[in-house]
Structure 1
Amino acid sequence: MSSEKEYSAEQLEAGRLLFARPWEFITSVKEMHQLPVLDGIEIAFAGRSNVGKSSLINKLTGKKALARTSNTPGRTQMLNFFGAEHSMLKIVDMPGYGYAEAPKGMVDAWTSLIFDYLRGRSTLRRVFSLIDSRHGIKKNDLDAMAILDKAAVPYQVVLTKADKLKPGQLQRMKEETLKVLAKRPAAHPEVIATSSEKGLGMDDLRAEIAQLVSYG
């Protein structure tokens, strides 16, 4: 496995164009029967509560308040769908996991919804699994990856808040992450380090997503 991927100027431009259009909220889904019609291509973002998921989606799309950000972990309790006009791509913001204060029944309902969505969504091309680069992969991240492995859904780790680490620390975190992913059957063999605050890695992430769209 390698931690770095070089994107060509064409790939970076394709990513820029994909996210240059206006992105809008489509719908929130609490139960499977509410899911939008299978159409186009979907990517999903998953991660622990307070990993910076909403901030990353907002930075990615260039729209400050597209995904709700909150200092209260666990606020995203549904599958939230976003799209752009004349684009076959839809972004899915998945419920944050690992929020211990949420009632057990609610957590179980989230888990059931997520697994049913992952297992039955033929339009889903990849889940981007967000990991806080300061803390690395935790047990509940591994639990989430086990669900993805079981559902046979490809996923790729995106490290968040990478600006908080020194270059040497970040490189070590990438290497440690890749060692864990090498043992996971559905894991993508590269990681992308990002910072929603500084914009680090956003061009690479857009380019990676654009490739998923172009390959269908």
Structure 2
Amino acid sequence: MTTMVHLPKQGLNRYGILRILTLMIFMALLSALLFIAAGRIDWVWGWVYVGLYVAILTINGIFLIAKNPELVNVRGQPRSDTKGWDKVFVWVAALPWLAIPVVAGLDVRYGWSVPMNLNLHFAGIIVFVLGNLLAFSAVLENRHFETTVRIQQDRGHQVITTGPYRFVRHPGYVGVILTMIGTPLILGTWWAFVPGALVMVAILYRTVREDRTLRRELAGYAEYAQRTRSRLLPGIW
């Protein structure tokens, strides 16, 4: 295991503010795509989804800024040592991610999907919230939870084995996958599972590549992987 490096606590800097602005722009874009594609603004489940997402991001952001503003800063800072394959991944994965609100909106506009039972909408809310809670618990536990894959030599990169990392090696990605399942259910569109599934495949790919990188380059990770054998699903994979 690597040695804990204690860095002085700092407040938000320009990169942290940039990160917050980026998330605000992302939510504005997602909302615009959703309702423009639907061709209407009186879509109840569309507003439920947007409102829930905004509330979760806001609450998570407040907690993270209070506990670890440094992580907000580094998540907004471009990194030249990001792995080359991950630079490509970020842009490729963004396409199906942004396609979800477009497909969902078009489905609502043209009625492609068979209407969902109300219970499925509520199940989607539960899955979506649980996914976000799991992802955020991973972020809170792991001070190295940046947005791109790199070995953080400048930040005393170490293996995290506590919290949700006791059970799987990539709990944040498990949370993202759950949100990809919950989103189409909240919106009531079966077709949105298509781009959602593409995002999930992309997450699986990144999990494999990131895990290989950490095994090879991060001291102590190979030993951690021997003890915590599952990447995403305990006892399965």
| Bucket of the pairwise TM-score, normalised by the shorter protein | under 0.3
TM-score of the pair, normalised by structure 1: 0.25
TM-score of the pair, normalised by structure 2: 0.23
- Return the structure number with greater helix share: 2
- Return the structure number with greater strand share: 1
